[in-house]
Structure 1
Amino acid sequence: MRVIKEYDERRSEIIDTAEQLFETKGYDKCTVNDILKKVGIAKGTFYYYFKSKEEVMDAIVAKYTDIITSRAEAVLQKKDMSPEEKLMDLFMAMRIEEKANSVELDSLHKPENALFHQKVLSQTVTAMAPILEKLIKEGNEKKVWHSKYPLQYMQIFLAASLTLLDEGIFVMDEDSKHSIMEALFSMLEKMLELPEGYCMQLLLKKSAESENMDGMK
């Protein structure tokens, strides 16, 4: 058991150190030697855990997506919530996680982190779409909404949302961002055959409830 623990600890140390270096130096400019020097290990030790610098990056991306997906799966398990409430909870959880990691995510917008940035976006869509698909199918079964292509629609919605609301790709003021969000939810409503404005009203209600809960703490 101790051997396994030491393996996990060393692997985590390499990942955490590489993440710090990618944030400060940028992924492209950071070398394996930089990581070796910072951690204090030999090259052979590094390659025992990872085949390349890109594999370390994949592990960092997986760390972010694992946090988001575990929270999303927890929302899906809530028996006392309707499919609509779960859907808004999922979107809120994703936004909260994004804000919590805002400093780390800001570093992705550097030109030298372009590949890193791309992987975070693609892996988030890949990881989250099947979870949202389960929820959309639940809503179909309960006749809350009707969606002909649950997985594909969620892939499209996530890809559009993550790209258009990414300030590293599109720089916009708050009014423009709000308009984009309204358009995205309008698209989601069409995908789910819901009335116009339905999702936006639910999100605003959920946001207000969340703010009230924070104010009571």
Structure 2
Amino acid sequence: MPATATRSAETRQKILDVARRIMAHKGYSAVGLNEVLAEAGVPKGSFYYYFTSKDAFGEALLKSYFDEYLADMDRILAAPDRSAAERLMDYWQLWRETQSIDECQGKCLAVKLGAEVSDLSESMRLALKEGTDAIVGRLERVISAGLADGSVTIEDTPLETARILYDMWLGASVMAKIHRSVEPLDITTTVTRRLLHA
């Protein structure tokens, strides 16, 4: 890749990384593009060089977030010498830790931006859907592996169980933010163990 293209890609990624950090605290609508560009050290007039529109920027932000999230998830769920149930509980434990920081304000953009941007932008809603579907798909595969290795027992299908668990953890994360307490996450951890018989 030519040096100019490399610098351009690096600058674009820097804008996305800065935006993710700011929006994880403030939300999407409360953050102006000028704030992001100033924090990233990028001239104000160059935004449209990197993104064709604010919707395209939001979509790229979510795709970048989910790419990193899914890579981390894959690493946790592929841990060697651990049963499928242990790998699943390791994933939920990390979720609890990342959602309990900053007085339970968390770092998950799906939790922070999900309801807000789904009403603002169809392309961002679809990026959220694609990312969350990918998470549920990974959970389904590990639940299936748990059935095969005997570490998991469920009453519904692996897909239904994965959806129930993911929805439950999203809801618990929102409630943790509202109450500024880890209690909803702890309750959800207990219920997760029961659902998986892990």
Which residue is 2:168 aligned to? 160
Which residue is 1:13 aligned to? 14
CA RMSD, Structure 1 to Structure 2 (Å): 4.0
Distance 1:20 1:140 in 2: 38
Cα 1:174–1:145, aligned 2, differ >3 Å: closer, same or farther? closer
Normalising by structure 1, what TM-score? Answer: 0.63
Q: Which runs of 5+ in 2 are unaligned?
A: 120-124
Q: Which runs of 5+ in 1 are unaligned?
A: 200-217
Distance 1:113 1:75 in 2: 24
Name which of structure 1's ranges 23-32 and 138-147 shifts more when overlaid on structure 2.
Answer: 23-32
8 Å CA contact 1:18, 1:35 repeated in 2: yes
Shift of 1:168: 6.3
Secondary structure of the corresponding residue to residue 174 of structure 2: coil
Distance 1:131 1:25 in 2: 29
- Equivalenced residues, count: 188
Q: Given the alignment, which residue of 130, 134, 140 partners 2:141?
A: 134
Distance 1:178 1:17 in 2: 31
Q: Percent identity among equivalent residues?
A: 22
Secondary structure of the corresponding residue to residue 94 of structure 2: helix
The one-letter code sitting in structure 1 at the alignment partner of 2:28 is Y
Q: Given the alignment, which residue of 40, 43, 47 partners 1:41?
A: 43
Distance 2:32 2:188 in 1: 38
Cα 1:36–1:52, aligned 2, differ >3 Å: closer, same or farther? same
Cα 1:9–1:121, aligned 2, differ >3 Å: closer, same or farther? closer
Which residue is 2:4 aligned to? 3
Deviations 1:128-159 (A, max 9, x none): 21111111121222343345521232122111
Larger radius of gyration, structure 1 or 2?
A: 1
8 Å CA contact 1:164, 1:180 repeated in 2: yes
Cα 1:185–1:172, aligned 2, differ >3 Å: closer, same or farther? farther
Cα 1:174–1:73, aligned 2, differ >3 Å: closer, same or farther? closer
Cα 1:122–1:99, aligned 2, differ >3 Å: closer, same or farther? farther
Which residue is 2:122 aligned to? none
Normalising by structure 2, what TM-score? Answer: 0.68
8 Å CA contact 2:34, 2:44 repeated in 1: no
Distance 1:72 1:169 in 2: 22
